[in-house]
Chains A and B, each alone.
Chain A
Amino acid sequence: MSAGPGAGVDLGGPGPEGVDPASRPPGAIRDRRLSPTLLVGAVLVGLVVVGAAVSYVWTPYDPVRVDATARLLPFSAEHWFGTDRFGRDVFSRVLVGARTTLLVGVVSVGLAAAVGVPLGILAGMTRGILPTLIMRACDLLLAFPALLLAIMFGAVFGGSTLTAMVAIGIATIPSFVRVVRAGTLQVMSTEYVLAARAAGRMRPAIAWRHVLPNVSGVVIVQASVSFAIAVLAEAALSFLGFGTPPPTPSWGRMLQEAQPLLFLAPRIAVVPGVAVALAVLGFNLLGDGLRDVLDPRTREIR
């Protein structure tokens, strides 16, 4: 506030009404700093990441070792989450399964962002036939949801972690293109882009210096939400047998193996089920929380 002579009458700044009480009541300002949504989301996601990391150095038992003497054991001190019908330790398998979940999520979301963000910026910054083509292609791709695409891939190439990742990634591209294009159009209509052009900036520089930093918020939020969807899709694919092949543990496959045993030991379905739900919940909450921080314009989408 030191700058500007006569600052005493300079009321153009964010005065009491500058915070716009209509859209953001002052109580919410504190909420933003330590939003419970963000906190819970971060903790849950952290749990999954730590679980996967720990599984590389330590698991209570070998997650794939079959032990006919220890089949369908209940929860106990030796086997925290019991054992499955082959006598494998469920806790160890859940830990290792987190790796599969994260791998599929990171690769598919990474693929979608790597393709979707540049296409979105391109569609937002150019005119004529190109943006129309890109958006039409996206509309079309939306008619092939991740699961359908993965099943098609599975039918032709055989189901594997790779086909699942690629299918989920491709199916996620349109959502990135859409949010990035919307963000780009918004940035391109601002006066600071006009100022940058008047300053002599070329298009690539505008894309890099102005558009990308200003859409990065929505990209991060979209990545988090897409991650949750990818976790769901991977679980469903493994459940159907199109994802990670045995014996590598994955939560979806554990659920598939548990289903025939529902009459005998329903608890076996509970553990991987809770794992999937918590992971999805974590990424969804993280996305919502980040949206409040990074993109105050749109409070919440889901």
Chain B
Amino acid sequence: MLARLATLLGSLAVSSVVVFAFMQVLPGDPARVALGLNASEEAVAAMRSHFGLDRPLLVRYLDWVGGLVSGNPGESYISRAQIGPQLADRFAVTAWLVLAGMVIALLIALPLGVLMAVRHRDAVGLVTSAVSQIGVAIPSFLAGILLIAVFAVGLRWLPAGGWTPPAVDPAAFLARLALPALSLGLVQGAVLARYVRTAILDVMSEDYVRTARSKGLTPLRALWRHGLRNAAIPVVTVLALQLATLLIGAVVVERVFVVPGLGSFLLDAVAQRDLVVVADIVMVLVVCVLVVNTLADLAYGLLDPRTRGVR
């Protein structure tokens, strides 16, 4: 437990160094890049001192990390706006998207995966398996485009994009959340369903399921009472990776649906070469992934008594 937290802190430290180093790779002086080629030497120098760019690298790194940790990452080189509040707003939007996508994915994957495993020898299993394979092959942004074509353009049931915060208008919030969350959830659901199927098929061939049947459990009850918890162990690991994929998938889907989340923020910042903002957003995403992986590891320990106390 403590060891796992130490590993998390170590990973965070190393990844922050990587991201910071990345910002330094850009040829040229960020102040000059921000101000343009025509800027005067004095303006550049003033900006350098304003942002502390004239200080040693280590100080700037510590300053940057400190800003992120304290929730006050400073201001953008380009827009001179405070990054913090914007980062928080955008993060909330993306979090809604990812959570809704995850819920949809689970709602699809669990029943579908169990169905595919239990009926893996007959037509039902074959058809569901084929459908899930196709689902896996569709990128989430393509799913988004198709959903827009059907529900926004064709049926005109839902808006094709945009965003309304839940506090402003819950109905509009849900209407605008539906399509992007679906495009994330459908695809991830298909991927997850295949992992669930494999995990359950593996468990069904385990000796202890046969033992359970020799006690008098029917195959389905043996699977329910003895299989599911064991099948959950590999699925939880995958779930963590899936959350990372969803987070990144959201970047693209936000672009499709013009949703003002972290993804659009990131892409806008890249377009403006606003490297501090890019680094901040990347760091936020990386922290999310690492924290989720750690939580998955801990959940693993809860599910599998064999690993308890070893870590």
Interface residues of A (CB under 8 A from B): 22-23, 136, 139-140, 142-145, 147-148, 151-152, 154-156, 228, 232, 235-236, 239-240, 255, 258-259, 262-263, 266, 269, 273, 276-281, 284-285, 299-302
Contact = CB atoms under 8 A, between A and B. Distances in A.
Interface residues of B, number: 54
Given A152-B282, A266-B153, A143 B252 contact: no
Given A239-B141, A269-B149, A143 B136 contact: no
The binding surface of chain A is classed by DSSP as helix
B123 interface: no
A156 B141 contact: no
Contacts, number: 133
B136 A284 contact: yes
A156 B279 CA distance: 11
A301 to B, nearest CB: 6
Contacts of B251: 147-148, 151, 240
Nearest to A22: B205
Given A139-B11, A262-B149, A276 B252 contact: no
Interface string B170-203: 0000000000000000000001001101100100
Contacts of A155: 269-270, 273, 275, 278
Given A151-B267, A239-B252, A140 B15 contact: yes
A281 B270 contact: no
Given A232-B139, A236-B252, 14 more contacts: A136-B7, A142-B244, A143-B289, A143-B293, A147-B251, A148-B282, A148-B285, A155-B273, A228-B137, A235-B142, A239-B255, A266-B153, A273-B138, A301-B198
Nearest to B192: A302
Contacts of A269: 142, 145-146, 149
A6 B11 CA distance: 63
Contact of B198 (A228, A258, A279, A302): A302
A276 B187 CA distance: 14
B167 to A, nearest CB: 30
Nearest to B138: A277
B97 interface: no
B142 A142 contact: no
Given A143-B290, A232-B139, A236-B252, A285 B133 contact: yes
Given A155-B275, A155-B278, A156-B25, A143 B15 contact: yes
B146 A281 contact: no
Contact of B241 (A142, A144, A148, A228): A142
A259 B145 contact: yes
Contact of B248 (A139, A145, A276): A145
Majority secondary structure, B binding face: helix
Interface centre among A139, A236, A255, A300 (most CB of B within 10 A): A236
A302 B251 CA distance: 24
A186 to B, nearest CB: 17
Contacts of B133: 281, 284-285
Contacts of A22: 205
A143 B248 contact: no
Contacts of A154: 270
A1 to B, nearest CB: 31
B245 interface: yes
Contact of A255 (B142, B205, B275): B142
30 contacts: A136-B10, A139-B293, A140-B14, A140-B15, A142-B244, A143-B11, A143-B286, A143-B293, A144-B15, A147-B248, A148-B286, A152-B22, A156-B22, A156-B26, A156-B275, A228-B137, A235-B141, A239-B252, A240-B252, A255-B145, A259-B256, A266-B149, A269-B145, A277-B134, A277-B142, A278-B137, A285-B133, A299-B201, A302-B136, A302-B194
B266 interface: yes
Nearest to A302: B194
Please indicate which of the listed interface residues B11, B139, B146, B197 has the most CB atoms of chain A within 10 Å of its own CB: B139
Given A277-B142, A280-B136, A299-B198, A140 B267 contact: no
Interface string B207-224: 000000000000000000
B148 interface: yes
Nearest to B267: A240
Contact of B139 (A139, A152, A276, A300): A276
Interface string B83-115: 000000000000000000000000000000000
A258 B194 contact: no
Nearest to B278: A155
Given A140-B11, A143-B15, A278-B137, A302 B195 contact: yes
The 9 closest A-B pairs by CB, nearest first: A281-B137, A280-B137, A302-B194, A155-B270, A143-B289, A266-B149, A277-B137, A145-B248, A147-B248
